[in-house]
Amino acid sequence: MNFHCQCVLVHYIVLIALKDIYVWSQNMTYENNGFHQSSGICQLYTGTICQDFLKNAHVFIDPNVTINDLEERLKAAYGVIKESKDMNSNCRKYALPSLCFSALPICRTPERTNLLYFANVAMITNKYNGNSTRKRRFVSKDTKTMHLFHKKKSVYFNDVFTTDVSSKYPPTRESENLKRICREECELLENELCQKEYAIAKRHPVIGLVGVEDCEKIPQHKDCSTLGITIEVDETEDCYWEDGSSYRGVQNVSSSGKSCLRWSWLMKEISDFPELIGQNYCRNPGSAEKSPWCFVDDRSLDRNIEPCGIPKCVDKIWLSIISILGLTALFVIVIFLMVLFRRKSSRGMKNIQNINTPNAGNNIYGNSQSNTNQDAGGRVILNSSMEHVGMPSKNIEKNGLLRIPHFTLQDVEFFEELGEGAFGKVYKGQLTQTNKKVVNVAIKALKENASVKTQQDFRREIELISDLKHQNIVCILGVILNKEPFCMLFEYMANGDLHEFLISNSPVEKKSLLQLEFLQIAMQISEGMEYLSGHHYVHRDLAARNCLVNEGLIVKISDFGLSRDIYSSDYYRVQSKSLLPVRWMPSESILYGKFTTESDIWSFGVVLWEIYSYGMQPYYGYSNPEVIHLIRSRQLLSCPENCPTAVYSLMIECWHEQAVKRPTFADISHRLKTWYEGHIKISNQTPK
């Protein structure tokens, strides 16, 4: 019998023996130094659920379970995951490979592992039989071949136990040489990309049967089972397009020179933004800002946001184009001057040579005089055209301010102080108009010694609000810009802000408003907001305190910031030094600073709640940090007493978690108007 046939026979006999011993010893354990270790075995994976990841691979099977049992558990667990509506799409694609590699780690050396396992079985058998050697007879006609088999088996076992000191004996999931999930990817899943899903999976009765890897117990190894998680980075990207939401460069320092913090430290829910996982590079998730930014360490605050000062690609391109054009123009000018200089030199030589000729009267002095006059005329024309070119920009600025009537301080009489806004004090006063008519006004004064930027912002606001003309918007009546203090003059609303009006007409004051009056107030605010949103304005601070009430229950939207000190408890610092009205804000504005018409719609829902609650503070009794938690966990305001179900349903629609599913202001105005007209019709039909 040749050597090849001998090897085949040996392996065949070994497989029969190992199979018999494995079936007999499934539930046995090895006792070593006072504790028990469960040992396992490697088998070729022949299932279907993990075929894409484990095809033709030997996988490690723990004791007391078969590969068929694991296959059924995996199918059940993946069925739960596929039907789950809570799993983020960015996390879902890693669920199945994570389960497969967790339940069935790949054996790097399956033959060695199985030999270790059956050696363990043999030792247990010896101990069970009183340390006597259990003999198993193999019948063979070739005694030489059997002798060779026993000799090779002895040498192989000795080689396994003497040379491989890296593995413990017997093999276990923790001790054996297994190819497990890459630890870095496991930690990214558990701590960043699938934080919520990972926590649910560990506690889930079906997924828990399969087993989810404990990332801390996974050894660091370069040869590991990767899930394909990639950190989006482009080291060559040194500028950004549009608002920078697609920027993937490696800038990790803010514009002030502070190091950026890791995103997952401060944004616990980043599953919607896979570009943030495992890094601290400047990004603009969800287009929250106008350019890439990051969190930086600030001792005065828990966290702070700063832009990163990355240049815009368009600016860089234009800078390059301008530089190339400038160099080209400079080169052309140099060539032109050189040619011109040579021509003048040649003319000069000719005139010098001909100075004594009869034609000397037509020399360069006569020509230069005429040229000088022509040049002088050219300069006058050029200067005139420069002034003419400069005029349109000045005219635009003047026209923007001339749209509003201008007054002097002598035309205004200051009365009481109403509060303080972003630019300075706000006063009640009287204005004497050009027709000698005296009207009450609210005066928004710019504080003295304001910086140049503040003055520019003040003028910019005048230009912006000069275009606003609506019966439910507090309109500007005029400005004072000839002498400090600079002022904006607005129509004065006799009954103050809506919040105070609601309180003064509440049951606490032994008064009440009719359902028709509630609807009248809400309808006017919605129509004013419909006008603003139609002109692409975002209010950012819509609340009862920023709506003013005049006689006849006329309500108009304002943003004076009146009596901001009185309403200081309504504002809170979130992620920056700006004070934010978190009780009126949706989660996207609180978390990412994203203000849109949809966030104004959320605020309108809160204003509705204020109206029907007679000016009660939203989430009263809770601190601002607690309010943020309530909003993020979808614990909405409850229905106010005596509030119609239809109106509260409208509030709930305004507070929809997905901004795109909130109603528009046009839809809100239409509904409120329909309800208002219906109430009027019912009132007219009711017998007195």
- Model confidence over 354-377: pLDDT tens digits? 323 333 333 222 333 333 333 333
* CA atoms of 73 and 50, how far apart (whole Å): 12
Model confidence band, residue 155 (pLDDT cutoffs 50, 70, 90):
very low
Report the pLDDT value the prediction gives residue 470, as an integer from 0 to 100. 92
Q: Tens digit of pLDDT for each residue in 275-310? A: 888 888 999 888 888 889 988 886 655 557 889 989
User: Both tokens of residue 117?
Assistant: 């396992």
Check whether domain 409-491 has CATH 3.30.200.20, yes or no: yes
Query: If pLDDT is split at 50, 70 and 90, which confidence band does 487 have?
Result: very high
Whose CA is closest to 529, among 663, 422, 631, 639?
663
The percent of the chain in helix, strand and coil, each rounded to the nearest 5, is 50, 10, 40
Specify the pTM. Answer: 0.44
Name the token pair of 150.
């026993």
CATH for 498-685, options being 1.10.510.10, 1.10.3720.10, 3.40.50.300, 3.30.70.20: 1.10.510.10
pLDDT for residue 189: 85
Per the model's pLDDT, the better-predicted residue between 343 and 211 turns out to be 211
Report the pLDDT value the prediction gives residue 360, as an integer from 0 to 100.
32
pLDDT band at 687; cut points 50, 70, 90: low
pLDDT at 643 over 50: yes
Q: Quick one: pLDDT at residue 414?
A: 92
Lowest-pLDDT range, 130-134, 196-200, 322-326? 130-134
According to DSSP, the residues that pair with 444 across neighbouring strands are 426, 488
**Catalytic residue (choose from 20, 86, 214, 541):** 541
Q: Which amino acid type is present at position 367?
A: N
**Strand ranges, E, within 201-329:** 293-296, 304-307
Residue 140: band (very low, low, confident or very high) from pLDDT cuts 50, 70, 90: very low
Confidence grade of residue 169 (pLDDT, cut at 50, 70, 90): low
Higher-pLDDT residue of 515 and 30 is 515
Q: What is the pLDDT of residue 521?
A: 97
pLDDT at 527 over 90: yes
Would you state the pLDDT for residue 389? 28
Which of the given ranges, 26-40, 433-447, 618-632, has the highest pLDDT on average?
618-632
Amino acid 353: pLDDT: 33
Nearest in space to 108 (alpha carbons), one of 180, 11, 182? 180
Mean per-residue pLDDT of the chain: 76
Q: Tell me, what's the pLDDT at 400? A: 53
Round to the nearest angstrom and report the end-to-end CA distance of the chain: 120
Amino acid at 487: C
pLDDT band at 419 (very low <50, low <70, confident <90, very high): confident
Q: Give 606's pLDDT tier (boundaries 50, 70, 90).
A: very high
Region 156-168 average pLDDT: 44
- Does the structure show a pLDDT above 60 at 568? no
480: which DSSP letter?
E
Q: Is the predicted pLDDT of residue 144 greater than 50, yes or no? A: no
**pLDDT for res 303:** 55
pLDDT at 576 (0 to 100):
52
Q: What percent of the chain has pLDDT over 90?
A: 29
**Which conformational region is residue 540 in: left (phi greater than 0), alpha (psi within -120 to 50 degrees), or beta?**
left
Residue 541 is a catalytic residue: yes
Reply yes or no on whether the pLDDT at 5 is more than 70: no
* pLDDT > 60? residue 492: yes
Above 60 in pLDDT, residue 135? no
Which residues 6+ apart lie within 8 Å of 350 measured at CB? Answer: none
Report whether 494 contacts 551 (CB < 8 A).
Answer: yes
Is the distance from CB of 91 to CB of 189 less than 8 angstroms? yes
Confidence of residue 597 (pLDDT cuts 50, 70, 90): very high
The two structure tokens encoding residue 660: 């795109």
Question: What number is the average pLDDT over the span 20-24?
Answer: 41
Residue 620 has pLDDT above 80, yes or no: yes
Find, among 183, 180, 184, 201, the residue nearest to 91 by Cα: 201
Six token digits for residue 254: 């803010």
Rounded mean pLDDT, 597-621: 96
Residue 348 has pLDDT above 70, yes or no: no
**CATH H-level superfamily of 230-338:** Plasminogen Kringle 4 (2.40.20.10)
Residue 274 has a CB neighbour count (10 Å cut-off) of 20
Query: What pLDDT is recorded for position 669?
Result: 96
Torsion of CA 139, 141, 145, 149, to 10 degrees: 0
Ranking 134-148, 223-237, 251-265, 347-361 by mean pLDDT, the lowest is 347-361
Q: Residue range 180-204: average pLDDT?
A: 82
Q: How confident is the model at residue 686 (pLDDT cuts 50, 70, 90)?
A: low
Condensed to tens digits (0 to 9), the pLDDT of residues 657-683 reads 999 999 999 999 999 999 999 888 887
* pLDDT for residue 119: 75
Domain boundaries, the chain: 3-217, 230-338, 409-491, 498-685
- 60-117 pLDDT, tens digit per residue, is 988 778 888 889 888 888 888 887 776 777 788 888 898 899 889 999 888 888 887 8
- Asked if residue 572 has pLDDT above 70, the reply is no
**Is there a shared CATH topology between the 230-338 domain and the 498-685 domain?**
no
What pLDDT, on the 0 to 100 scale, is given for residue 429?
94
More confident residue, 77 or 605: 605
